[in-house]
Structure 1
Amino acid sequence: MLLGFDPGKDKCGVAILETDGKIIYHQVISSPEAVSTLQNLSQKFQVTKLVMGNQTTAKTWEKRLKQEMGNLPIILIDERYSTLEARDRYWQMYPPQGLIRLVPQGMREPPRPIDDIVAIILLERYLVEVRSQDE
């Protein structure tokens, strides 16, 4: 199992994917509870790798997680444009209902934070990268 982590100052996205890409779990959590949540998820789902974005707060989080998560390998992945991609993915996962369907997708704002969907996208990018190296 792979653990995806979209680190942030106030909130973070977490996701668990099987190596075949099947989504097992995803949630937005507050930053103060991130380490304990990551530890719990990694034990519960027997995680083999933690994949996280490489931008804004990545270096600080990476250092902290290396101290707190033991020997769990941490892979940094390019997270550029992942938020834009996550906005589109949100509407695929949760199709709009009612009148909001009439609003063009580019003008719709997801009704909740999408950091967990960003974590899913980071994991998918990692899996694509790994598969392309295997070919």
Structure 2
Amino acid sequence: MPENKVWYLGVDPGSAKTGFAWVEADGRIKKVAVLATETLPEVLPQILGSAPAAVILGNGTNCESIKKMLMEVTTVIKILMIEEGYSTEEARKLYWQENPPQGWRRLLPLGLQVPPVNLDGYAAAVLVRRYLKKINTV
């Protein structure tokens, strides 16, 4: 992420895998990733290296464990919890918005198609967008 732009790190916690999304303050997704949860202690310092404005953490499975890992890596960056209900369903819609089907697949209803990627990174982006919507409407 560019150093001069405000951005947020979304985290969709899980037991086996955790989704991450780098999202700009205007809601644009710069990058999504899914990592094995067991690797987080080694990779979190690199992920947080360029200092997001805040980490938006979903309140679902394994959130307390991941929050503890985040707090061990940084005491400067705010870690904000957000409701994660139905984020996977929203992530599916977001995936198709960002990656519209091509060729003959564009003729099939999206409800009948399965995204070819793991959606945890997109779920993390959904969490950040929920947070941005919340702070912009208050």
Shorter chain as denominator, the TM-score bin is 0.7 to 0.9
Inter-partner Cα distance in structure 2 for 1:105 and 1:60: 35
1:41: which partner in 2?
47
Residue 72 (structure 1) aligned with residue 77 (structure 2):
yes
**Which one of the candidate residues 14, 19, 32 is aligned to 1:13?**
19
In 2, the alpha carbon distance for the partners of 1:121 and 1:35 equals 24
> In 1, are the aligned partners of 2:44 and 2:73 still within 8 Å (CA)?
no
- State the shift of 1:108 in Å: 1.0
Per the alignment, do residues 35 and 128 of structure 1 end up closer, same or farther by CA in structure 2, a change over 3 Å counting? farther
Task: Give SS of 1:43's match.
Answer: coil
Q: Percent identity?
A: 36
Q: Gapped runs of 5+ residues in structure 2?
A: 1-6
- Partner secondary structure for residue 49 of structure 2: helix
Task: Name the residue aligned to 1:128.
Answer: 133
Structural RMSD (CA):
1.6
Q: 1:1-135 residue pairs with structure 2 within 5 A?
A: 1-44=7-50, 46-133=51-138
Deviation at 1:112, TM superposition (A): 1.1
Give the count of matched residue pairs.
132
